[in-house]
Amino acid sequence: MKHLLSLVLCLSFLTASAEVRLTVRADEVKCAVSPTLYGLMTEEINFCYEGGLYSQLLRDPQMREREGDPRQRNRRNAPLRFWQWNDSIKTWTNQGFWGIAVRPSTEYRGKMKTDGKAVMSVGLRSTVDGTVYAQAIVSASDAGWLDFTLNTAANIKETKDVEFFLQFTGDTRCGLNYVSLTPVSKKQVTVKSDLYRTDLMDMLREMHPKFLRFPGGNYLEGNRFSERFWWQRTLGPVELRPGHHCPWGYWSTDGMGLLEFLCWCEEMGAEPILGVFAGYTLQGDYVTGKALNGFIEEALDEIEYVIGDVSTEWGARRAQDGHPAPFKLTYVEIGNEDFFDRSGSYAERYTMFYEAIKAKYPQLEIICTDSPDKMRRLARDWKVEDRMKLDIIDEHYYRGYKDMLRQCGMYDKYDRKGPKVFCGEWATREGDPTTNMKAALADAAWMIGMERNSDIVIAHCYAPLFVNVNPGGMQWKSDLIGYDALNSYGSPSYYAQCMFAGNLGTEVVKMECDNMPRMQVEKDTLDQLYYTATRDKATDKVFVKMVNAGETSIDVTLSTIGKKVSGKALQTTLVADSMNATNSITNPRAIVPLTKKVKGSGKMKIKLPARSIEVIELQ
């Protein structure tokens, strides 16, 4: 009885003090917000470029992928995998990447290489009823390259149930070595604009990325030396690039090559974070000492291609490729995930790359891909401890909802005297192919932890960015943006990113919580509320970010001290009615942020719905 009484008293005490008070101290600056805080990470995975951002519509334009192991590209007798030949009507067909997007009033530019004389009818037609959407006659008078154009009528409906056909007429017939087809983009921003799928580019711009980390990821390393991102082989006319096997199990034509990555940055107003191959492959092949010099040269040349002026060898090559102006480059990353390096050779490889890059380009900042403790240990083994400098460490975190929430305060405790952090891959892995609301809540809480510690976390990016949602399109679960040949959509995690990156001040200011609500997650008791605030020096706006990661609403009194709050405020909310709720290719906008005007004041009462992410902009 006595125990019951104290339990009742205790519960009533908890209820009575349940009001959660958040206080923003807008004039107490904790640190500057890193200008490169929010960015993107990308590599060829989940049909991210091929069948994704890269707008080439036909699969295997080089006509080399054979049935069975696509690496056996020289088995000329084996049938092609993605091109079908019908002997009775002398027709080649290609169904693209799970269909081909056809839209009204659209021009498509094609290119082919023939080995002789022939007359062909080429076009796009329905795989459902054979309706022809666009057609042209192409005459090859000799061996060589031919361009052709297809145009769709204004009155057709957009569809992806489409195949490309190439039918020889009469008795004519010739061999083909290459056939490609790309829709012509209506707005040309860079020399490469036509190569990026416009709906996906629009979605990326909404994320306000300040950088693009490329080309990986595992894709940088490759399974073997010959399958690394061999950047020189990705230059020049796309039809002449050899392509290579991607470690995620399919063929890359390398249509998305180094220049395409750089122009992609330019189109988004982002700068590259360039990963250079560091002499270690995913299969564990590696080189050290003198044998590394070739790869170091390769990296120095690559940097010259990016930032060298036209008087340099590789700057001149960039100009010849259509882009005389150098690109902006601040960060270069040496390798990828070398904490997985089984050889223990990274300390030497890293140090050799670091010294060579710094000697030629002292202005560049170098990113290391293993932890400081391990690097120091390895440095002793390799006798490079006096030379090794660790400026920025790339950390990767893939976790479930509970672990992500549990680790949100991790950077509060980081050593301020140690290297800076680039969180170059992270994601809450809940839901597939794209994430659900449960993931978005933990993502948002994790981003709050990074934003609040922006003095040490200089940049971060979610991974993977893209997934083609067709069966066989996904190699890695819990992705940010999904698509098929025609449509695309953002996951709740995508919208959390847009909300946060789009409402970023220039200074992190102090914020406190009284009465933190706690919640039970499995056997753990965790904070239910996550928060941070920034102020923008130029506009004097304050941005308050809050996440209610639990299943009950929270009543918050938000006080702002140190700033005169005008009556105008904006409140943007992302909320869902269950943790598993999500967006999909068939229901793309089930969960999207809503912005409304609210009355701003120095003391605001706000109800944070269960499972919600909020951004309040105070003017």
**For binding to ligand AHR (CB under 6 A), which residues are involved?**
43, 45, 216-218, 336-337, 425, 463-464, 476
| CB closer to ligand AHR out of 384 and 463 | 463
Q: How far is the CB of 246 from ligand AHR (least distance, A)?
A: 10
| CB closer to ligand AHR out of 337 and 484 | 337
Question: In angstroms, what CA-CA distances link 218 with 16, 99, 242, 467?
Answer: 53, 27, 20, 16
| CB closer to ligand AHR out of 45 and 574 | 45
| CB closer to ligand AHR out of 251 and 462 | 462
Which string of DSSP letters, residue by residue, matches 143-187? SEEEEEEEE--TTPPPBS-EEEEEEE-TT----EEEEEEEEPPS-
Q: Residue 391, Cα to own-chain centre: how many angstroms?
A: 24
Distance CA 217, CA 43 (A): 6
Quick one: angle between helices 258-268 and 198-205, nearest 10? 50
Handedness of CA 378, 380, 384, 386 (dihedral sign): positive
| CB closer to ligand AHR out of 213 and 541 | 213
| CB closer to ligand AHR out of 43 and 163 | 43
Q: How far is the CB of 277 from ligand AHR (least distance, A)?
A: 13
Q: How far is the CB of 115 from ligand AHR (least distance, A)?
A: 39
Q: How far is the CB of 248 from ligand AHR (least distance, A)?
A: 8
Q: How far is the CB of 499 from ligand AHR (least distance, A)?
A: 23
Q: How far is the CB of 340 from ligand AHR (least distance, A)?
A: 8
| CB closer to ligand AHR out of 216 and 315 | 216
Which residues are registered as beta bridge partners of 521? 524
Cβ atoms of 195 and 260 within 8 Å: the answer is yes
Q: Which residue of the chain is nearest ligand AHR when measured via CB? A: 217
| Two structure tokens written together for 535 | 């102020």
Handedness of CA 548, 549, 554, 558 (dihedral sign): negative
Q: How far is the CB of 219 from ligand AHR (least distance, A)?
A: 6
Residues 6+ apart with CB under 8 A from 141: 117
> Residue 85 class from Cβ within 10 Å (0-12 exposed, 13-18 middle, 19+ buried)?
exposed
The three-state secondary structure class of 244 is strand
β-strands 331-334, 271-276: how paired?
A: parallel
| CB closer to ligand AHR out of 55 and 336 | 336
Q: How far is the CB of 170 from ligand AHR (least distance, A)?
A: 50
The three-state secondary structure class of 96 is strand
